[in-house]
Every structure is written in C-alpha cells, then in structure tokens.
Amino acid sequence: GDRWLAPTNWLDKDLQVLPENAREFIRGMNRARKSYEHTKIFHLFWFCSKFFTYLMKEHPPIEEMKTFGFRLNPTQEQQRELIALSVASKEIWNHFVEHQAARIAAGEPAWSAFDMHKLLTQERAVRPQWQKLNSKAGQRITSAVDFAYRSYRQLIKKDKTAKPPQTIDIDENQFYTLVFNQSGWSFKNGVVVINKLPIEFKGHLPVHEMDVKELRIKKRGSKWLCDVCVEENVIQPNQMTIHNKV
C-alpha cells in the first residue's frame, strides 16, 4: 500500500543518511508509486473509452441529409444565364462520357476522377462557356462520370446486357439540374448569390443559420426552385415502437 512508499518530497540528499541498500529500496518504491499512479490513469481512460464505445453501439449516430426547398425569382437575364450554365454542365458530362468510352473501347485504362479533374482544368482554359460554371460544380460532374463508369463495370459482371453511361441531349428547353457542392453560393439579405448571380428568393427558412452542404437549382415548368441540403446527426433508437399495433 501507499504507507510503505517513501515521501514524495524526499530528495537524494535526504537519502544520503541511509545505507546504500535502503536508498535503492526507497528509489525503487518511488518508481513503483509513479507506475501505480500512471496505471490508475490508464484504467480510467480505458473505462471511459469502453463506456463511450458501448453508447455508440447502442445508439450510433447516423448522418442524414435533409433537403429544404424554396422558390427563386430570377430575372429574364438571370434565367438565360442559368440555362447557359445548364448547357455547360451537359457539355462537360458528354465530353468526358465520350472520351471515357473511347478509351475503354481502345483497351486503354479508364480515367480516374482525379485525372478528369486535371483535364477539366485544361479544358476550361480553352472553353469560355465552361469557365462560367463554378469549378467545384464542374468537378462534381466529372466525379459523377467516374462513379457512373465504376457502377457500370460492377453491373456488367452480373448483367451482360447492361449499358454504359449515355450522353445527354443538349436542349435549352430541357433544364439540367445544377448542383453546387461546398461552394458556389451565399445568402445575403433575402438574396441567394448562385455562381455570382444575385437571385431573389421566397421562403421562411433560416437559411443564414443553416450549415448547407449542397445546393441544387431545378426548373419545374415555369417555376424555378432551389433545394438546400443540410447534414444532421440523428441517433437511431435500438428498438422501434409501433404505436398503432393491434
């Protein structure tokens, strides 16, 4: 026990009055004291980690993406700009889908998402229309091309009739949903700035306080809509209670 240990304020000069074997014994007991204290701290941290692991196992938090929508009121000029961005996104998709298909048909290794990100930067330098689209939004399209071809390679192993990713018809009358991930928008005083376009919107959502992860621009008929995606941690119960059971 602790009563057999030497006082912690003993110095080497205090031990000089004792025989050599007694001094070695007291130094060893002091080292044992420190080791014992460290062991108690280790067990405390071990218990806390096990308890936290138990809580996470019983009620694991799950990240869920919640979507909230509101109306946009773009001007005629802003509508033309949004349609031009939609056309640019279609061109980016078609460009990389066609080149990826050509590489696979020629027996060459397919481009990775990182390869297409670098090629997109080079293509943007010579294509003014693509430069209008936010660079992060363009990278999201190339990542979607990469994901589509990886899914196709997995599907073709099970179904030989599976078709590879297809190009999209470039028609200005068919608006292609614009997706901005992580950047490309901001909310200021009842106006949402999307790809440097300040567009008025209607809604009662506290979008200024939300941690928006993704923003999508859609067109349904003559209505322009905006969806904001917010990521939240939801703790799922380990049991489900059915209140309307018989």
- What are the pLDDT digits (tens) for 195-225? 888 998 887 777 777 778 888 999 988 899 9
Supply 214's token pair: 């993704």
Q: What is the pLDDT of residue 160?
A: 84
Q: What is the pLDDT of residue 102?
A: 93
Computed over every residue of the chain, the mean pLDDT equals 78
Region 63-71 average pLDDT: 79
Region 10-19 average pLDDT: 52
Q: What is the pTM of this model?
A: 0.66
CA–CA dist 164, 144 (Å, integer) = 13
Beta pairing partners, 212: 230
The C-alpha angle 47, 48, 52, rounded to 5 degrees, equals 120
Q: What is the pLDDT of residue 21?
A: 58
Full 3-state SS string of the chain: CHHHCCCCCCCHHHHCCCCHHHHHHHHHHHHHHHHHHHHHHHHHHHHHHHHHHHHHHHCCEEEEEEEEEEEEECCHHHHHHHHHHHHHHHHHHHHHHHHHHHHHHCCCCCCCHHHHHHHHHHHHHHCHHHHCCCHHHHHHHHHHHHHHHHHHHHHHCCCCCCCCCCCCCCCCCCCCCEEEECCCEEEECCEEEECCEEEEEECCCCCCCCCEEEEEEEEECCEEEEEEEEEEEEECCCCCCCCCCC
Q: How confident is the model at residue 68 (pLDDT cuts 50, 70, 90)?
A: confident
- φ/ψ (deg, to 5) at 105: -65, -30
Question: In this structure, are strands 197-202 and 191-194 parallel, antiparallel, or unpaired?
Answer: antiparallel
